[in-house]
Chain A
């Protein structure tokens, strides 16, 4: 299950990085927004959690639009964003959102009353909880939709084009700013959906964003920054590894796996397991 969540996050960060060359430290905050949206709109306006997911999508795409058009655009020159400025900018955004959520909703942990599905399925030795299964399935479906979109739709091709060669993309008439906007929205929405999905399973608290951002980074680095399939594979592998690790490692220390793996990859094979990511020409 966690693999699925990591996949959604990892894809988002990889996509944004590939196209905009920005590591979005605030990515986890999109997840936070999604989770909170799910909780609060799920409680009040929409009954049932499909509505919760939709509200998460709405809120995060809104946030994505604002950030991409008002904050990233001013620092974009000739279609590229200054790496360092972008990094620090997302840092600021992360601080702002995390604390804004804190301000509005308070520091308490929130949980969602009632899950989409309760009940468990038993397959031999494995116990599959309904909600977790749903998360896995949902993330697989969404991932498939995304890949489909990128491969077969015009805008999807445009996104891949900009990621690979922004100058040639511009020369083909592609509006780079618009593609940046679209990409960022997609990334944010992916994270938001992840947040909405995970809300019923764990508690939501304002600082949750950063932990997930870190996981997303780990996954993306392992799979190769900018390489979507790599992020996907790495996400599921890591999710499995993480869950299994509690079996033979004192819990607490198993949190070490992620950062250590990330370090190893960064030092010895910076382009990740899947080989060269989409190199910018």
Chain B
């Protein structure tokens, strides 16, 4: 597996807080124009992993390569500038600003106003509702519309890699379906996605490759079907005594 093919390479990542390590040697490979997922029980280190990848936490050891470039110690805004985008669990929009202003902030780093307009048009095309409400204050939007706005804002950064942190939290099943339709659309458009999810079923329906993490270490990598067949899921989430037949470690 050559590093240059992958848009994201995480190698031997060790990180944690105040003396203890939460991540103990994590690796990830995300190929371009794919959807990769990260699953694992609570406390496995998923959010810590994202924090490190995005630059909120410095790793103690290991490397993060983005399109071959070492970005391990970059600050968050530097990574955004390089094309890593992120939609988090907590509200990541600005309720007191209008929809249009929200999107404008998303394009903060883009100095060229015609490029900004192009991106804005792209977002409005994909989410017609946002166009309808473009002058409305974002605080008045419904939950699903807010999610769309957050994706829209994120798209304004013209990302190469999109990282989603538990996107289906707080969404009704209908909205979750709509959301994942968007995810598929994004992949069709050429984007690469990395998704952390608890809703394993939904994730498995779209993902190309899954990384299972437990206690800060990789436990399994493979396609969703490989993972399901191996019976590893029940071990991971239910702590069953069934030991998987093969680890699927490639």
CA A175 – CA B97 in complex, angstroms? 19
Q: Are A164 and B95 in contact (CB under 8 A)?
A: yes
Minimum Cβ distance to chain B for residue A161 (Å): 5
Chain A residues touching B, majority SS = helix
Residues of the B chain whose Cβ atoms lie less than 8 Å from the Cβ of A168: 91-94, 105, 153
> Considering the chains assembled together, what is the distance between the CA atoms of A159 and B170 in angstroms?
29
Q: By the criterion CB–CB under 8 Å, are B97 and A173 in contact? A: no
Distance of B54 from chain A, by nearest CB (Å): 8
User: Which residues of chain B come closer than 8 Å to A278, judged between CB atoms?
Assistant: 96
Q: Is the CB of B77 within 8 A of A164?
A: no
Assembly CA distance A158 to B90 (angstroms): 19
Report the separation of the CA atoms of residues A176 and B80 in the bound assembly, to the nearest whole angstrom: 13
Chain B residue with minimal CB distance to A169? B105
B109 at the interface (CB under 8 A from A): yes
| CB neighbours of B80 from chain A (8 A) | 170-173
A157 on the interface (CB 8 Å rule)? yes
Whether A108 sits at the interface, judged by CB under 8 Å, is: no
Contact B94 A170 (CB under 8 A): no
Interface size on A, residues (CB 8 A): 20
Listed residue (B90, B92, B97, B101) with the most chain A CB atoms within 10 angstroms of its CB: B92
Q: A78-B56, A281-B90 are known contacts. Are A158 and B77 too (CB-CB below 8 A)?
A: no
Q: Given B90, B91, B105, B156, which contacts A161 in the complex, CB threshold below 8 Å?
A: B105
- Which residue of the partner chain A has the closest CB to B89? A167
Is A171 within 8 A of B93, CB to CB? Answer: no
Whether a CB of chain B sits under 8 angstroms from the CB of A174 is yes
Bound-complex Cα distance A164 to B102 (A): 12
Q: Which of B77, B90, B95, B101 contacts A170 (CB 8 A)?
A: B77
Q: Are A174 and B77 in contact (CB under 8 A)?
A: yes
Whether the Cβ atoms of B157 and A165 lie closer than 8 Å is no
List the 7 shortest-distance A-B pairs measured between CB atoms, nearest first.
A173-B80, A168-B92, A173-B109, A175-B77, A281-B91, A170-B76, A172-B108
Assuming A172-B157, A173-B108, what are 6 further A-B pairs, CB within 8 angstroms?
A: A154-B108, A157-B101, A161-B97, A161-B105, A167-B92, A171-B80
14 contacts across the A-B interface (CB closer than 8 A): A78-B56, A160-B96, A164-B94, A164-B95, A167-B88, A168-B94, A168-B153, A170-B76, A170-B77, A170-B80, A171-B87, A172-B105, A172-B157, A281-B91
